[in-house]
Every structure is written in C-alpha cells, then in structure tokens.
Amino acid sequence: MSEIAAKAPVKPARRRLLASRLVPYLLLQALIVIATILGLRLLQPSDPDDHAVTAFSLREDGVTRPVTLPHFTASRYSLADPPLYTGTFTFRSGDAASGWSVYLPRFSNAAEVAVNGVVVLDSRRDANANRPDRNTPQIALIPASLLRDGSNEITVRLFVWGPLKGFLDTVYVGPDAALRPAYETRTLLFVTLQVVFSAWQSILAVILAIMWLMRRREPVYGVLAVAMVLGVIQAFMPPPVPPFTVSRLPAVLLASAPIESALIVAFGVLFFGWRWPRYGALLFAPGLIIFVVGLIAGPPLPRILFLVLGVPTVGLSLFLMACVTAAAVIRRQDAASFTIGCAVTIVLTCWIHDMLSVFEIVTNERIFVSRLSYSAMLVAIGAGLTWRFARALNQVDSFAGQLVTRVREAEERLKASFAREEERARAAALANERTRLMRDLHDGLGGQLVSIVALSERGHEGATITDAARAALKDLRLVIDSMDDIGGDLMLALGSWRERATAQLRPHDIALDWRVATPQGLPLHPELRPSHVIQIVRILDEAVTNAVKHAKARHIAVTIETLEGGQGNDQGPYGVISVTDDGCGFALAGNGEAAGASQTTRGLRNMRSRAARCGAVLELSSEGSGTRVRLQLPQVFPDSDAAAG
Amino acid sequence: MSEQGETGEAITILLVEDDAPTCWRLQDALVKGGYEVRSAGTLSEARSALGDGAPRVLLTDLRLPDGHGIELIRETRQRFPDTEIMVISALGDEESVISAITVGATGYLLKDAFPTDIATTVRDLVAGHSPISASIARFIVRRTQGTAQSTAEPPPGPALNTARLTPREIDILWGIAKGFSYAEIASHLGLSKQTVPGHIKNIYRKLEVHTRSEAVFEAVQQGLIKL
C-alpha cells in the first residue's frame, strides 16, 4: 500500500518531465523537417531551360499520342518494345562551333537516345546510370555530321523494369557548353557525393570493426560496422542491366536496404543502452525474405517484393529509430541522442519525400534522396562513435592521471604518518632508554658511591674504599658499555667483559679460563637490548665476585656454547654461558641460611631475578670442590625487561 | 730494576696529566716499573718539556687546561716519529682513543689500571705491542662495515678511514672484539701468535691520518687525482 501511495505522486511529475522534454524535442524535429524540405527545394539542381525539349510523341503498345516531358509511363516487366519518345529540335549551323550535346537529367530505368535515327547514347552500357535509387544524369555529344540545319529528330527509347513506373525528365539538346555545367552539378550531387560517402563509410566500417574486435563486450560497434559494410557493398557492386546474365546478384543486393535499416535500429537500441528484444529479430525478416526469394526466384518477383516489403521495412525502421532516439532524448538529454535524433528525422523526411515521389503525390522530377541522406547519417553516426571512443580514451587518461595523483597523495600521507609513527617510536625508545639508564646508574653506581661516602666518613681503611670505588667504576663502565650498539652479538659484550674480568682477577692471581665451545660463540639475537646485556654481564660479574670473595677459588672457567633446542616447540639454537670455579663452594638455601653469608644468598637471589628479567634460566650447583653457575639464554629475548618481573 | 731501551739507556716518559692525584698515581706506578718520568700539567708545560728533547714515550691526557691533548699528539708525531704515544683515558671510551689514534697515538692507558698493568702496558708498547681493547676493536670493525655498505649517514663518532685495512686485519679485530686472546685468534686464522701484535700495530698506523699524504691517498681512492 505504502509503495503504491509513494509511487502515485511520481506519475504526474514524470508526465510533466515527459512533456517538458518531449515537446521541445518534437518542435525541434518539426523545424528540422521544414528545414529539410526547404533544403531539398533549394538544392534542386537548375537546368538550362533555354534548351529544353518537352514536346514529344509517345508510341507505346502500338498507340501514338503526344506527351509533355517530364512524363511517367506505366510500369512493365518486359524489355521488348519499350516506349518510344519522338521529338524535334532546331539546330542552327551558326551555333555548331562548340559542338552540340543531348543531356538527360533523370530517367528510369535506362534510356537509349538516337538523333536522326543514329544512336548517340545508351545508358545501359553504364551499369550505375540505371540504378533507380541514384539520380545519375547522362550527357552525350552529338556528332556534327548527324545534325542538319533546321529541324532534327530525336528519339528516346525508355527501358523500364518494374515495379516502378518508367520516368523520363525533360530532355535538353543544345550547345555542349550550355548543358555541361548542369550535368556536372548533378553528377557531383548524385554520383560523386555518393561515392565519397561510401568510401568514408567503408573506412569507418573498418575502424568500427576493429573496435568491436578489441571490445567484444560492446556489440554496438559490430552492428554498425555490418550495416556500413552492407551499405558499401550495395553502393559499389554494379547491378547488371536486364536482361541479366546472372539474375541472383541484383535480387540479393535488393535485400541490403531493409537489413541495413534493421541493423540501424538494433544499433540505436544498443547504443542507448536498452536490451535488444527477442521479437526484434522480426525486423530482419523482410530483408531475409527478399534475400531468399532473390536467391530462388528470378526477376521481377524480388523487385516487387522489395517494393511491397523492403521499402515499408525501411520506413518502419526509420520510424522505430526516431522513437528510440526520442525516448533516449527524454531520458538522457545528451548531445549524442539529440544529434542522432535530428539525423534520423532528416532521413525519415527524405524517405517520405521519396515515397511521395514514387507514388506521384508530389511531382518533383523523381529525385530520390533517401540513400544519400542515409549514407550521410551513417557517416555522422560513425564519426560520432569514433569521437566517443576518443573521448573515452581521454577519460581513461585523465582517470589514470587522477589515479597517479591519488596514489601520490596517499603515498605522501602514508609517508607523513610513517614519519610521525617513527618519530613517536623513537621518542618512546628514547624515553625507555633514559629510564633504564637512570635505573642502572641508580642501582649500581649510586649505591656504590653512597657506600664509598659512608666508608670514608667512618674512617675505614683505604682498601675497602678502594674496592668500593673500583666497583663503582666497573659499574659505570658496564653502563657505558651497554649503550654501545653490538648488533645483537652478545659475544661482543662478553669480549669487553672478559678484559675487565681478567684485569679484575689479575691482582688476586686468579686465572680466567675462556672456552668458546662452538666456533661462532653464541647465536645472534637481533632483539637483544642493552638492558639484557647489562643483566647478563651483572650475573657473570656476580658469579666471578662470589668465586673470588667467598669461595676462594684459584681458577675460574667461563664456557660459552650454542646448543640446538630440539624438544617441544622450542626449536632453534640457544646459548649457554657457564662459570665454574674450583673454590670451596657454598651451602645453598634449604641447607639452612647458614654458610654465614647472607650476602651470598642475597647475591644469588639477585642473580636469579636478573636472569628471569631477560628470560634466561639460571642453574646453580655448589659443592666442596667448586661452584658451577649455568646461565641458559632464551632463544628469543623478551621485549621488555619488566615483562618477566 | 730499570727498564731500558735497545741502546741500554733508561726509557724516558713524558707524562702529561692535569689531575694531580691521577698524575701521582701514574708516575708512582711508572717509576716503580723503572722508567724515567717527567711530568707536565698543561699543554704549554708539555711543549717546553718536548723542547728539551724527545721522550721515548709520551703519555697524555686529552683534556688539558690550556688546550687539547690531540694537538700535542699531532705535534709530537710530526716532530719525533720514533716516540711512542699513548693516550690516558678515564674509561677507555672509543671516542677519545680513536681520535687519538687518528693523529698518531699507538696505545692507550686506563687511569684506574692497576699499577703493575700500567708498567706492563708501557713496556709492551715500547716492545712494539700496541694494546687494543675489545670495545675499540668493535668500534673499528663497525666502521669498516659502515664504509662497506656506504649507507646514508656515517655512524657517530670521530671520522675514521678504514679503507686500507686488509680482510685479515679486520678478522683479527673481530676476534679481539669477541674477547678472544691473541693465541686463539692466531690459531683460528692460521697465524703465528707472535705476528698478531704486529698486525695490530699496523692497524693503528693505517688508521692514522697523515695530513698531506692521507689527503692524496683519499683523492686517488676517489678518482679525483690520476697518477
């Protein structure tokens, strides 16, 4: 209900839109019709009336009667005993200087002209001259020897092949110089122009066919190309003059006009984006019928059929095309539909003009203009399509340009955001590092300096203060060292540590045995941070300090090796650093907090928590013959030292 | 006991250090080691001391009240090519040691080193053994990587031309940086243990920037001059 209610007010609006668009369009078409009619009138070629010969006597079917040209004779299907027009003209020998000619502006279908009984012109020799759809003029020089001073006889034999009526326009006889310009004008208009259009059409047909071949999705180009090819064949294939040697060819050519017109309708429907209806194929039926009949039956049946079926089909197609373009104009209101609409109106007007001429409702010297206007229309459409194609290419270009611009913009935005992100990350890393540095200085150096101060205040012996100060210096070195970029190679940090440890142990006369079990030492850890390095080095320091201070060791060995992790999901190599000494060991917690070394237990707890902070596992074993600290490094160091507590 | 050079005379050392306690400490250690030590507290004192004659060894701090130790090292290097030069560094930081090396120093001494180590270091240096720490070796090999990649910006710190170092010397530096002893390095690289100190001395010499010749070398390397 609501939908219907919603739709209801749309209808008047649509009607208003229809009216507001259709009415101006129809008015425009009416103007075009008037313009076309005026144009046809104005373009009517003028003939040299001074030399007209109009009074003839016609002998037809054994009956002779006087007639005035232009004259229509009855349609006939036999070439035997053609209508014979006989007339006279006056020749004055004084005018003979330039030579005289006889000029036939329009006749159908063929004419044979004789002067004083001698044939001077036979249009049947020129196949194109006899085509009823063209308005080919003929001119012939009259040999001077034929001409007699005074009255001369001229006879015109008019060959007619139905179903059209025979027609003979006014005959002109006079000095060649006076007649030839009129002949040239008609040739230009009705012969040369047609050839030019056809040539043009053939070029466009090739272009459109290529477009269609490259873009099969758009059959519109293919349809138009086929229509144009048909038109070109029809235009350039010379129809044989009866009596035919090959009777099939002209019959087949007759089918071209209705098929072409149907194709044009198909083009219109596809061009304006409608679907081609299934029953639309019916439009091709008349053309195909004429084609088939032309193949089977001899003349004149195909010609009759053409007049009965073909010509109305052309008209119907033109009318349909006019409707299609009108609908397109209402819907789209664009230049293409307007242009095609106007072109169709012109062709339709020309067709009506020709029909009126065929049925003698309007006498206009029987000049047929449909073909000419149709060719012009096709050329216009083809040019339009090519233009549209070029415009589409331009659009693609500009689209590509836009795309490039967009991509560049996006890239710049991305770059900016990346720079921002990087800046942020750098700031965060810097802040982290600062925090760590402050904590490390505070934890190590700060505490040791405080203890130095305390020792000096209590007046302790120099040695103790020296030790504390040395420890402070060592810690400062460690912190500074940890700032260095070692590129994930823990071996580089251990190298520095070995030097310091060796220097530290030398006064105690303890040897530091350095064993690197695997050639590469430890695996590379790109994720290694200074905080990890500090923790590991402090653990090792603590182990060495314990061995020296509490275990009274004589030898300390540091073993570095890389092991392959095979069990479970812990694939990949991991490093192990072991510190072993030959001291007296210490009792581990659990054996009572004994051993009198709460400092040691604190140290051990410290080592464990440091190991946990960098994801390492610390194992301690101590007995009377020595202590072993085994630090198993993780395969991947945790991101932040706070993570593991 | 007194340390003697090849000529049998006592080895003379010029010690330039402005901090009095440090100076006493070093002097004590060196005198105990048998060296003949003169000390100077400022750059000008050091210059006048140099005017008296070339010492066998120059030990100098970098930060001096009236100038920079680098200038002193450069001058000494030019005037007395046979004098061994060591820089005194508080923490053995790469910045100061490397910049001293580039002007001609061939060793460094840590201010807090144990007295016996101080004497040993000087003795080794005179014997042709330049000391090199893991962190300094690391610093140098990092630079060789940096120049090999020739990437955007040079790493921070003093400019260092590592182009003349041979692959073998770089291998040795890697070994030192990773904490291997000379013996270990020698066995890894198939060298005799005795040749390693010589290589290190060469490394120091190659890193030194001789103002004119080095500039020519650089220019030839970069194709600016055709020989």
Half-sphere exposure of B84 (CA within 13 A, CB side): 23
Q: Are strands A150-159 and B84-89 parallel, antiparallel or unpaired?
A: unpaired
**For helices B69-79 and B94-102, angle between their N-to-C axes, nearest 10 degrees:** 30
| Domain closes at, from A186, A218, A242 | A186
In chain B the first and final C-alpha atoms are separated, in Å, by 53
**A596 and A634, same domain (yes or no):** yes
Of the candidates B91, B181, B184, which has its C-beta nearest A476's C-beta?
B91
The parent domain of residue B92 ranges over 12-126
pLDDT at B150: 45
How confident is the model over A578-600, as a mean pLDDT? 64
Q: Are strands A63-68 and A55-60 parallel, antiparallel or unpaired?
A: antiparallel
Contact A632, A552 (CB under 8 A): no
Contact A522, A490 (CB under 8 A): yes
pLDDT at A417: 92
**B69 and B153, same domain (yes or no):** no
CA A117 to chain centre: 70
- Per cent of chain A over pLDDT 90 is 6
Kindly give the residue spans of alpha helices, DSSP state H, lying in A44-154.
none
pLDDT at A595: 46
**B91 and B29, same domain (yes or no):** yes
Retrieve residue A396's tokens. Answer: 């693609």
Tell me if B180 and A495 make a contact (CB, 8 A cut-off): yes
Tell me if A497 and B179 make a contact (CB, 8 A cut-off): yes
Q: Is the pLDDT of residue A3 over 80?
A: no
Does any CB of chain B come closer than 8 Å to the CB of residue A480?
A: yes
pLDDT at A257: 85
pLDDT at A10: 53
Retrieve residue B118's tokens. Answer: 């101080």
**A228 and A265, same domain (yes or no):** yes
pLDDT at A57: 86
pLDDT at B155: 52
What is the nearest CA distance from A492 to chain B, expressed in angstroms? 5
What residues of chain A lie within 8 A of the CB of B94, using their CB? Answer: 484
**A329 and A222, same domain (yes or no):** yes
Retrieve residue A33's tokens. Answer: 């019709």
Q: Is the pLDDT of residue A491 over 90?
A: no
**H or E element, residue A73:** strand A71-73
Is residue A612 one of the residues assigned to a domain?
A: yes
When the pLDDT of each residue in chain A is averaged and rounded to a whole number, the result is: 81
- Per cent of chain A over pLDDT 70 is 89
pLDDT at A233: 85
Residue carrying structure tokens 């087949």: A252
**B62 and B141, same domain (yes or no):** no
Nearest chain B residue (CA) to A516: B180
Kindly give the residue spans of alpha helices, DSSP state H, lying in A297-369.
301-305, 311-332, 335-358
How confident is the model over A111-133, as a mean pLDDT? 83
Contact A518, A574 (CB under 8 A): no
| Domain closes at, from B77, B110, B126 | B126
Q: Is the pLDDT of residue A415 over 90?
A: yes
Interface test with A, best of B93, B108, B135, B174 (most A CBs within 10 A): B135
Angle at A111 between CA A110 and CA A112, to 5 degrees: 135
| Domain closes at, from B74, B101, B126 | B126
List own/partner pairs for B79-82 with CB under 8 A and 24 or more apart. B79/B50, B79/B54, B80/B50, B80/B54, B80/B55, B82/B54
What residues of chain A lie within 8 A of the CB of B109, using their CB? Answer: none
What is the nearest CA distance from A503 to chain B, expressed in angstroms? 8
Nearest chain B residue (CA) to A498: B179
Tell me if A495 and B113 make a contact (CB, 8 A cut-off): no
Of the candidates B112, B117, B178, which has its C-beta nearest A521's C-beta?
B178
Return d(Cα A362, Cα A352) in angstroms, integer: 11
How confident is the model over B87-102, as a mean pLDDT? 79
**A222 and A168, same domain (yes or no):** no
Is residue A355 one of the residues assigned to a domain?
A: yes
Burial degree of A387 (CB within 10 A; 0-12, 13-18, 19+): exposed
Q: Is the pLDDT of residue A385 over 90?
A: no
Alpha carbon dihedral A280, A286, A290, A292, in 10-degree steps, equals: 50
DSSP state of A279: G
Tell me if A506 and B133 make a contact (CB, 8 A cut-off): no
What is the nearest CA distance from A445 to chain B, expressed in angstroms? 14
Return d(Cα B102, Cα B94) in angstroms, integer: 12
Return d(Cα A123, Cα A575) in angstroms, integer: 110
Is residue B153 one of the residues assigned to a domain?
A: yes
Q: Are strands B36-40 and B12-16 parallel, antiparallel or unpaired?
A: parallel
What is the nearest CA distance from A486 to chain B, expressed in angstroms? 8
What residues of chain B lie within 8 A of the CB of A477, using their CB? Answer: 91-92
Say which residue, B93 or B133, is predicted with more confidence: B133
**B61 and B28, same domain (yes or no):** yes
Number of domains composing chain A? 3
Does any CB of chain B come closer than 8 Å to the CB of residue A496?
A: yes
Say which residue, A152 or A133, is predicted with more confidence: A152
**B25 and B115, same domain (yes or no):** yes
Contact B28, B7 (CB under 8 A): no
pLDDT at A566: 64
Q: Which residues contact A613 (CB under 8 A, 6 or more apart)?
A: A531, A535, A641, A642, A644, A645
Q: Is the pLDDT of residue B149 over 50?
A: no
Return d(Cα A376, Cα A362) in angstroms, integer: 24
**A103 and A147, same domain (yes or no):** yes
Of the candidates B91, B142, B178, which has its C-beta nearest A495's C-beta?
B178
A44 to each of A106, A182, A373, B150, how far by Cα in Å? Answer: 12, 11, 15, 87
Contact B15, B41 (CB under 8 A): no
**B87 and B145, same domain (yes or no):** no
Least confident of A279-288, A513-522, B72-81: A513-522
Residue carrying structure tokens 């060789």: B144
How confident is the model over A264-287, as a mean pLDDT? 86
Is residue A25 one of the residues assigned to a domain?
A: no
How confident is the model over A454-476, as a mean pLDDT? 78
CA A402 to chain centre: 14
A vs B, Cβ pairs < 8 A, gives: 59
Give one DSSP letter per residue of A595-623, joined into a string: TT-HHHHHHHHHHHHHHHHTT-EEEEEEE
Domain containing residue B158: CATH number: 1.10.10.10
Is residue B181 one of the residues assigned to a domain?
A: yes
pTM higher than 0.80: no
Is it true that the peptide bond before A300 is cis, omega within 30 degrees of 0? yes
Confirm whether the ipTM is greater than 0.90: no
pLDDT at B15: 92
pLDDT at A645: 37
How confident is the model over A368-383, as a mean pLDDT? 80
Return d(Cα A271, Cα A266) in angstroms, integer: 8
Contact B171, A514 (CB under 8 A): no
Say which residue, A316 or A295, is predicted with more confidence: A316
**HEC readout, chain B:** CCCECCCCCECEEEEECCCHHHHHHHHHHHHHCCCEEEEECCHHHHHHHHHCCCCCEEEEECEECCEEHHHHHHHHHHHCCCCEEEEEECCCCHHHHHHHHHCCCCEEEECCCCHHHHHHHHHHHHCCCCCCCHHHHHHHHHHHHHHHHCCCCCCCCCCCCCCCCCHHHHHHHHHHHCCCCHHHHHHHHCCCCCHHHHHHHHHHHHHCCCHHHHHHHHHHHCCCCCC
Q: Is the pLDDT of residue A408 over 90?
A: yes
The phi, psi pair for B9, rounded to 5°, reads -80, 160
B129 to each of A45, A609, A627, B112, B210, how far by Cα in Å? Answer: 119, 42, 36, 21, 21
pLDDT at A412: 93
**A135 and A226, same domain (yes or no):** no
| Domain closes at, from A383, A399, A415 | A399
Half-sphere exposure of A436 (CA within 13 A, CB side): 20
Contact A171, A58 (CB under 8 A): no
Helix, coil or strand: residue A175: strand
**H or E element, residue A108:** strand A107-108
Number of domains composing chain B? 2
Contact A332, A358 (CB under 8 A): no
What amino acid is encoded at A247 in this protein?
Answer: S
Is residue B116 one of the residues assigned to a domain?
A: yes
**A179 and A197, same domain (yes or no):** no
pLDDT at B217: 54
**B157 and B190, same domain (yes or no):** yes
Angle at A431 between CA A430 and CA A435, to 5 degrees: 115
* Buried/exposed code over A517-538 (b: 16+ C-beta within 10 A; e: otherwise): eeeebbbebeebbbbbbbbbbb
Return d(Cα A143, Cα A176) in angstroms, integer: 12
What amino acid is encoded at A126 in this protein?
Answer: D
| Domain closes at, from B126, B151, B176 | B126
The parent domain of residue A519 ranges over 485-645
**B116 and B138, same domain (yes or no):** no
Domain containing residue A61: CATH number: 2.60.120.260
Least confident of A4-8, A108-112, A586-590, A615-619: A4-8
pLDDT at A384: 77
Q: Which residues contact B186 (CB under 8 A, 6 or more apart)?
A: B192, B193, B195, B196
- pLDDT tens digit sequence for A179-229: 888 899 888 888 888 888 888 888 888 988 998 898 888 888 888 889 888
Burial degree of A446 (CB within 10 A; 0-12, 13-18, 19+): middle
Least confident of A20-34, A559-573, A618-632, B124-138: A559-573
| Domain closes at, from A145, A163, A186 | A186
Is residue A515 one of the residues assigned to a domain?
A: yes
Domain containing residue A606: CATH number: 3.30.565.10
In chain A the first and final C-alpha atoms are separated, in Å, by 70
pLDDT at B13: 92
List own/partner pairs for A615-619 with CB under 8 A and 24 or more apart. A615/A644, A616/A535, A616/A536, A616/A539, A618/A539
Retrieve residue A535's tokens. Answer: 């923790």
Sheet of A100-104, strand order: A52-53, A171-175, A100-104, A138-142
Q: Is the pLDDT of residue B30 over 80?
A: yes
Contact B46, B85 (CB under 8 A): no
What is the nearest CA distance from A617 to chain B, expressed in angstroms? 23
How confident is the model over B170-190, as a mean pLDDT? 86
Q: Is the pLDDT of residue A133 over 90?
A: no
DSSP state of A278: G
Return d(Cα A586, Cα A570) in angstroms, integer: 33
Residue A483 pLDDT level (bands cut at 50, 70, 90)? confident
Closest by CA to A491, choosing from A633, A283, A286, A325, is A633
Return d(Cα B31, Cα B204) in angstroms, integer: 27
Is residue B190 one of the residues assigned to a domain?
A: yes
Is residue B4 one of the residues assigned to a domain?
A: no
Does any CB of chain B come closer than 8 Å to the CB of residue A176?
A: no
What is the nearest CA distance from B53 to chain A, expressed in angstroms? 34
Residues of B with CB under 8 A from a CB of A: 91-94, 112-114, 116-117, 133-135, 137-138, 142, 176-181, 184
What is the nearest CA distance from A336 to chain B, expressed in angstroms? 59
Tell me if B134 and A477 make a contact (CB, 8 A cut-off): no
Of the candidates B116, B117, B134, which has its C-beta nearest A495's C-beta?
B134
Q: Is the pLDDT of residue A306 over 50?
A: yes
